[in-house]
Amino acid sequence: MKLAIVIDGYYFLEKFGLITVIFALSLVVAMYSTLAERKIAGFLQDRVGPNRAGWGGMLQPLADGVKMFLKEEIIPAESSKFLFIVGPSLAILTACIGSAVIPWGDTIVLFGRTVDLQVTDINVGVLYIFGVVSLGVYGIMIGGWASNNKYSLMGAIRAASQNISYEIAMGLSIIALLMMTGSLSLRDITNQQHGFWHEGWFSWNFFSQPLGFLIFLVCAFAETNRTPFDLPECETELVGGYHTEYSSMKLGFYLFSEYINMFVSSAVMSTLYFGGYNYPGMDWVMEHAGPTWGPLVGVAALLGKIFFFIFFFMWVRWTVPRFRYDQLMNLGWKVLIPLAIANIVATGLWMTVKATYF
């Protein structure tokens, strides 16, 4: 017996449509994140931000894109040409494939068919996200090394050591969460957080794992190379970091992949800790809105959470100054990892006590 997936035409069509929609969504969100970043930077600094291209600057991302495409393409003569091109491609590839396992909504009835709003529900979804995140550093490393420039190399090395250090704390913070959920599938984890209130306590994981969430949040900042941990592209020390030598759309891909990463990690955070597509009073809405519109409200709730986290990323960027490199390493190895292990122990103790006495 082969894998029991009945691949009929409609199944293929709906998956294809879903992938297209998610891909387009993450690109559009990333595009407008660049505008939002500049707008929010402006607002936080008592300015208005870009407002010339289109109404209130709405066409600014398009203008930036056109500018990026039309710029001269420079490949350094002493660089390793193939790897120089592979670098940004890998960066954008790994950024885009992360969204495949995220459940974007409950099962929805569309045109008389029940559709899962998730590209694939593999039962190691959380680990898949980790794998993709850990792969993301190759784009930066290969690009930085292939540039044959000492600043790029420094940026690449910083990115590598930073990502590896924070991946450990991130994994440990997730383990405490997985101990409570008992599943690696993101859909299971989301369904366990149904509604908002369950048996006398909030059902969202954030309220049972606040420390784990905090560690995960800090690590997410480090993994996406966002300020306060944007040392790989620290322009005061390293000119442009790993993308010093890049120009044109290759540079655009690097910048763009950062925003897609931000989108995906926001989605992961809201799925793991903030209930994904669940929201208070969803049973009532589901009853009254029917099986088509009810889940769509859930999708909107998830998107709302994602946008809040993207805003949070930007808010932090324009508030907190950059860490120094030794501070970064101290925080990762001497603070976050012990904290994460303590969190695991505390969670284990609490679960044992709960199982024994309640």
Partner 1 sequence: MESLTNKKKVLEQKPMTLLERMYLPAIVKGMSITFMHMFRKKETVFYPEVQREFSENWRGMHSLKRDEQGRERCTACGLCALSCPAEAITMISAERKKGEEHLYREEKYAAVYEINMLRCIFCGLCEEACPKEAIYLDGPIVPADYLRKDFIYGKDKLVEKTIEGVNA
Partner 2 sequence: MAVFYLVAFLSIFFSLLVIFSKNPVHSVIYLIITFFTFTIHYVLLNAQFLAIVNFIVYMGAIMVLFLYVLMLLDLNVNSEPVKSSLMKIAGIVAGMCLLVTLAGALKGSGFLPAGAHEEVVQRPNLGLVKNLGQVLFHDFLLPFEVSSLLLLSAMVGAVLLAKREPREI
Compute the distance between CA of residue 100 and CA of residue 22 in angstroms, rounded to an integer. Answer: 8
180-209 mask for partner 2 (x: CB under 8 A)? ----x-------------------------
109-138 mask for partner 2 (x: CB under 8 A)? -------------xxx--xx-xx-xxx-xx
Compute the distance between CA of residue 146 and CA of residue 264 in angstroms, rounded to an integer. Answer: 27
How many residues touch partner 2 under the rule CB under 8 A: the total is: 29
CA dihedral 337→338→339→344, nearest 10 degrees, is 90
Judged by CB under 8 A, which stretch of 133-141, 293-301, 318-326, 349-357 contacts partner 1? 318-326
Q: Which does 319 bind (CB under 5 to 8 A by kind): partner 2, partner 1, none?
A: partner 1
Burial of 223 (0-12, 13-18, 19+ CB in 10 A): buried
Compute the distance between CA of residue 229 and CA of residue 159 in angstroms, rounded to an integer. Answer: 10
Tell which one of 196, 293, 307, 318 touches partner 1 (CB under 8 A). 318
Number of H helices, E strands in the chain: 12, 4
The CB-of-204 to partner 2 minimum distance in angstroms stands at 24
- CA atoms within 13 Å, Cβ hemisphere of 40: 18
Tell which one of 22, 31, 160, 262 touches partner 2 (CB under 8 A). 160
Q: By CB under 8 A, is residue 43 in contact with partner 1?
A: yes
Q: By CB under 8 A, is residue 156 in contact with partner 2?
A: yes
- Residues near 155 by Cβ (< 8 Å), separated by ≥ 6? 140, 144, 232, 233, 234, 238, 240, 241, 242, 243, 244
The CB-of-264 to partner 2 minimum distance in angstroms stands at 16
Q: Which does 189 bind (CB under 5 to 8 A by kind): partner 2, partner 1, none?
A: none
Handedness of CA 91, 308, 204, 351 (dihedral sign): positive
Q: By CB under 8 A, is residue 229 in contact with partner 2?
A: no
Q: Between residues 163 and 225, which has the closer beta carbon with respect to partner 2?
A: 163
Where does this chain bind partner 1 (CB under 8 A)? 43-48, 315-316, 318-320
